[in-house]
Amino acid sequence: MKLQFVCYDNIDVIKSNLDSWVNKFKQPSSDWLSEELNQPLFSDTKFKEIKDFSLDMSADPKKAFLTEAENAIRVYSNLKFLTDSQASDERLWAGLCLGPFWTYVQYRWGIDQKCTVSAVKDHFFFGQKAGRRSLTRNALSRLWWIGRLTYDEKRKDPWELTKFICESSDYIMHALERNTSNNPAIIRPFLSAIIDVRKSGREINTDQFGLLAKYLNLLGGIYILDCLPEERIYEKIHAKALEISTPSSPKQEVPSTEVQ
């Protein structure tokens, strides 16, 4: 697979014409874009070709969120060499979304069924004013950043945190779209504490998870979290999680995640 990008000029032209082009994003490929632009859509990056990989689209389209963890693992495993700066570049992710993973974006976000200008901007490009939100709304950068912030090679299962946060789209929103969410050394102990409290027989629902994310943000106003040892972050989140969580009912199964 050759990594290619879409230059800003092409991105600007596409976005400015979305009102009239939006329904064409339901088509089976992006070949029509080169014709509309009257020039090549893609440009080569400096990276050498990488091993081809595909994304999981095995779940019912209405439950496409169930593929999130597996696909985060695949994207981050194959593109782990990217720096944080490179992985924040809209041109790279637009190239992947409009190129080899066009069908995946349609599948995951229902573009082939209901196609809106805002959905195309968010999931093929960067459509949010807030930088972190753009990173977690674009279909491919979302998967890379989930992997980047949750992969932990020190754990028995390095992807345990990845699988946990992908149980709910709310978890991803609460944990990864905040200013405190750009450092794995902050996210890892945050998620680890919640997992351990859950394993101890306590229930933490999505609302409580959101409260814990707000608490982490509050801690960021008191401490320089990037300089705080992971153990301290873990201890503070663990104590707060114990305080706000409730005992799990022995007869109650963990609720199935919502589909988004």
pLDDT at 251 over 60: no
Amino acid making up residue 154 = K
249 pLDDT tier (thresholds 50, 70, 90): low
254 confidence band (pLDDT: 50, 70, 90): very low
Q: Tokens at residue 20, please?
A: 């009239």
Q: What is the CA radius of gyration of the chain?
A: 19
256 pLDDT more than 60: no
Provide the pLDDT for residue 253.
47
Residue-level pLDDT at 250: 59
User: In 10 A of CB 40, how many CB atoms?
Assistant: 12
Q: Which of 71-75, 116-120, 177-181 has the lowest mean pLDDT?
A: 177-181
Query: 148 pLDDT exceeds 60?
Result: yes
Q: How many CA atoms within 13 Å lie on the side-chain side of 153? A: 3
